[in-house]
Amino acid sequence: MATAQKYADLKVGDKMPDLKLPPISRHQLALYCGGSGDHNPIHVDIDFAKKFGFKDVFAHGMLSMAFLGRHLTNWVPQSQVRKLGTRFTSITWVGDVITVSGKVTGKREEGGQKLVDLEVRCTNQNGQDTLQGNATVALS
């Protein structure tokens, strides 16, 4: 559950606790195909993936973005999330072990809200970033 982060207590550079995920499985990709409505066969059908030059199926970028979302809502309540965005910087393969991390990059007051900007990322077992994202949350 999200703990109560206070605007006044946070400073630029503060780290969010890491979220460590189990290895990506084919089963998870099948569930995400149905759950997200992204039915692109490249994520679940190895024959299709090979036809388009890939060695295997690979994870939906949006599955990893959902991990960014989990990381964020572990840290602040869902209702305080204002923005979440990411670049997908490398492919996540079956078996990859993803860790989500994040840190505070800015604090500002805007439109009567106390906003905290965060840098969030997914990194694989080789230390390579797969997602490089940003988020903004409103705190009291």
Partner 1 sequence: MALLDKKHIGHKFNAFTTTVEAGKIRLFCKAIGEENPIYLDEAAAKAAGYRTIVAPPTFATAVTNDDPEKGGLLRLLGVDIGLILHGEQHYEYHAPIYVGDKLTCQQKVVDIYDKKGGALWFVVSDTEVKDQSGKPVVTARGITVVRNPDAGKN
Of the candidates 16, 21, 118, 120, which one interacts with partner 1 according to CB under 8 A?
21
- How would you label 33-52 residue by residue, b for 16+ Cβ within 10 Å and e otherwise? beeeeeeeebbbeeeebeee
- Nearer CB in complex with partner 1: 2/10: 2
Is 101 near partner 1 (CB under 8 A)? Answer: no
Window of 6-14, 20-28, 107-115, 121-129 that interacts with partner 1 by CB under 8 A: 20-28
Would you call 128 helix, strand, or coil by DSSP?
coil
- How many other C-beta atoms are found inside a 10 Å radius of the C-beta of residue 92? 23
Is 67 near partner 1 (CB under 8 A)? Answer: yes
Would you call 27 helix, strand, or coil by DSSP?
helix
CA 29/CA 51 separation, integer angstroms: 19
Is 9 near partner 1 (CB under 8 A)? Answer: no
Residues of span 24-63 touching partner 1 by CB under 8 A? 28, 31-32, 34-42, 48, 51-52, 60-63
Shortest Å distance, C-beta 48 to partner 1: 7
